Amino acid sequence: MRTTLERWWGLVARLVVGGVWIAAGQAKLPDPSGSVRAVRAYDLLPEGIVPTVGHTLPILELVVGACLVLGLLTRAMSLVSALLFIAFVVGISAAWARGLQIDCGCFGGGGFDADATSQYPWDIARDLGLLALSVLLVWRPRTPLSLDELLFPVDMESLEGQATPT
């Protein structure tokens, strides 16, 4: 059985990752064209889908963040979060490997950044840390103070009995 401390660490992970997604989405939402420019700057996606991704990403980030902060559909939202962080690490790494000097666009902005090369390792490290927290929440989505606990209650004692077959 998970200890109370483990469950509270899960809550911290949920709030940190959710808060980051909300901050990222809020920063991009007021400037949709800036979000499209940031996606385009990576030069990884076909031009035909760049506007759709650029316009959809801030909304997706806000939804994922809100669900994580509220503890709603935690496992599913953490999986989406992990997939997004993998995509972002790949994108930043590809930009770095190709010598592109672009702002990651993670919290708005995007486009040319003369200091980008020195910033890429920090962006990747941040995203890898948040990826690790997202994977933790996929593995252990049950945390205190979550809507999942209210909407989808689980009898932990009955689960313990099922864990070891007789």
Q: For position 163, what pLDDT does the model report?
A: 42
Burial 20-54, CB ≥16 within 10 A → b, else e:
bbbbbbebbbeebebbbbbbbbbeeeeeeebeebb
pLDDT tens figures, 115-162: 889 999 999 999 999 999 999 999 999 999 999 999 999 865 544 444
Q: Which H or E element spans position 21?
A: helix 4-28
Q: Which H or E element spans position 92?
A: helix 74-97
Q: For position 5, what pLDDT does the model report?
A: 81
To the nearest whole number, what is the mean pLDDT of the chain? 91
Q: For position 110, what pLDDT does the model report?
A: 81
Q: For position 30, what pLDDT does the model report?
A: 95
What φ, ψ does residue 143 adopt, rounded to 5°?
-135, 155
pTM of this structure: 0.89
Q: What's at 131, amino acid-wise?
A: L
Q: Measured between alpha carbons, how far is residue 47 from residues 5, 33, 105, 145 in Å?
A: 47, 14, 17, 42
Q: What average pLDDT does this structure show over 30-53?
A: 96
pLDDT tens figures, 47-97: 999 999 999 999 999 999 999 999 999 999 999 999 999 999 999 999 999
For residue 2, name the pLDDT band (cuts at 50, 70, 90): low
Q: What's at 46, amino acid-wise?
A: P
CA separation for the pair 31, 93 (Å, rounded): 25
- pLDDT at 17 > cutoff 90: yes
